[in-house]
């Protein structure tokens, strides 16, 4: 099986021309950077992810290239980790060129935050947009453990060290603390969107529910500027750049064959051992804070 996978990888690399030395010269004047999948600092073999370590160098390359006159973010993501989202937002804000976000099926939560950092947001009337909120929920196993007479032996250095563990029900004080942390992050998140989009008080009040929107509602609330797709973005850029010549070039990270095979091998091993590893390693599970839809 592993030999078949290796063979397929080699063939795909040869077919894509990645084994040869590539030129740094770009073939267009508008860079397209994809924001597809969950935003976070890790990689997944089973789903698309947006890792700042891969995405930010692409943004910086587009920003520094004299050949590139504008940048389009092609977004299809429901969001993800706050810190990873913020790092990409900061990189987008640092681009001293016209930027456009084109939202496909989904541009929600942390992904919408990234979109809001651009000069123009374009989406379909059927796109899912918004969901500007924070999730810190987790599964509480305390009732299940009690049913099977399994006890959680608590040894901590610090009264709140194990706040949020799923093996016991949180106290009233702990619930209040966790909710306050989530509320504080939500307020900061909403303020970022307000500033990026120059929203009014009534718009902020309605968006603070963290509901998602489609079509006319998204535009009415100031989340979207235009309806359309890549063609709409090109038409906008022709006016902004005062040109009729728009040539899109999609920037991607080309990993070496060895790097890709190594990642495949490590991810395969990770997922095979995940069941056992999770049981051993996750003796304490903190609530996960996410800017996800």
Per-residue pLDDT reduced to its tens digit, 220-237? 999 999 999 999 999 999
Per-residue pLDDT reduced to its tens digit, 33-54? 999 999 998 765 556 889 999 9
Residue 189 reports pLDDT greater than 60: yes
Per-residue pLDDT reduced to its tens digit, 64-101? 999 999 999 999 999 999 999 999 999 999 999 999 99
Strands (E), 118-256: 120-123, 128-130, 212-213, 226-227, 248-250
What element of type H or E holds 136? none
18: three-class secondary structure by DSSP:
coil
Helices (H) then strands (E): counts for the chain: 11, 12
Joined tokens for residue 283: 């003796």
Could you tell me which residues are beta bridge partners of residue 75? 35, 103
- Residues 87 and 55: beta-carbon distance below 8 Å: no
Cα–Cα distance between 251 and 71 in angstroms, integer?
10
**Residue 44: predicted pLDDT:** 58
* All domains in the chain, ordered by first residue: 28-254+283-292 (3.90.226.10)
- Residues 160 and 286: beta-carbon distance below 8 Å: no
Joined tokens for residue 254: 């080309």
Average predicted confidence (pLDDT) for the chain: 84
**Residue 276: predicted pLDDT:** 36
> Which band of pLDDT confidence, cut at 50, 70 and 90, is reported for residue 27?
confident
First to last CA, the chain: 37
What element of type H or E holds 8? helix 2-16
> Which band of pLDDT confidence, cut at 50, 70 and 90, is reported for residue 21?
very low
Joined tokens for residue 232: 């709409």
Residue scoring higher pLDDT (76 or 288): 76
């Amino acid at each position: 099986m592993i030999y078949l996978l290796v063979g397929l990888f080699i063939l795909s690399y040869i077919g894509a021309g990645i084994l040869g030395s590539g030129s740094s010269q770009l073939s267009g004047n508008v860079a397209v950077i994809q924001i597809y999948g969950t935003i976070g600092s890790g990689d997944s073999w089973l789903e698309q992810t947006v890792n700042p370590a891969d995405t930010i160098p692409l943004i910086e390359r587009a920003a520094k290239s004299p050949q590139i006159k504008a940048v389009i973010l092609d977004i299809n993501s429901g969001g993800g980790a706050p810190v990873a989202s913020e790092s990409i937002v900061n990189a987008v804000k640092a681009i001293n060129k016209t930027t456009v976000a084109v939202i496909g099926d989904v541009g929600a939560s942390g992904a919408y935050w990234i979109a809001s950092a651009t000069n123009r947001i374009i989406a379909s009337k059927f796109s899912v947009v918004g969901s500007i909120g924070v999730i810190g929920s987790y599964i509480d196993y305390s009732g299940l453990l009690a049913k099977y007479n399994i006890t959680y032996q608590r040894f901590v250095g610090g009264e709140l060290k194990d706040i949020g563990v799923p093996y016991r029900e949180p106290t009233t004080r702990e619930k209040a603390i966790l909710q306050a942390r989530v509320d504080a992050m939500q307020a900061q998140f909403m303020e970022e969107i307000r500033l990026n989009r120059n929203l009014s008080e009534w718009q902020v009040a309605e968006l603070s529910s963290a509901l998602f929107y489609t079509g006319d509602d998204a535009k009415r609330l100031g989340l979207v500027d235009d309806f359309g797709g890549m063609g709409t973005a090109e038409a906008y850029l022709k006016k902004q750049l005062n040109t009729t010549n728009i040539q899109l070039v999609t920037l991607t990270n080309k990993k070496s064959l060895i790097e890709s095979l190594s990642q495949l091998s490590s991810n395969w091993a990770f997922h095979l051992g995940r069941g056992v590893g999770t049981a051993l390693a996750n003796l304490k599970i903190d609530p996960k804070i996410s800017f996800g839809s």
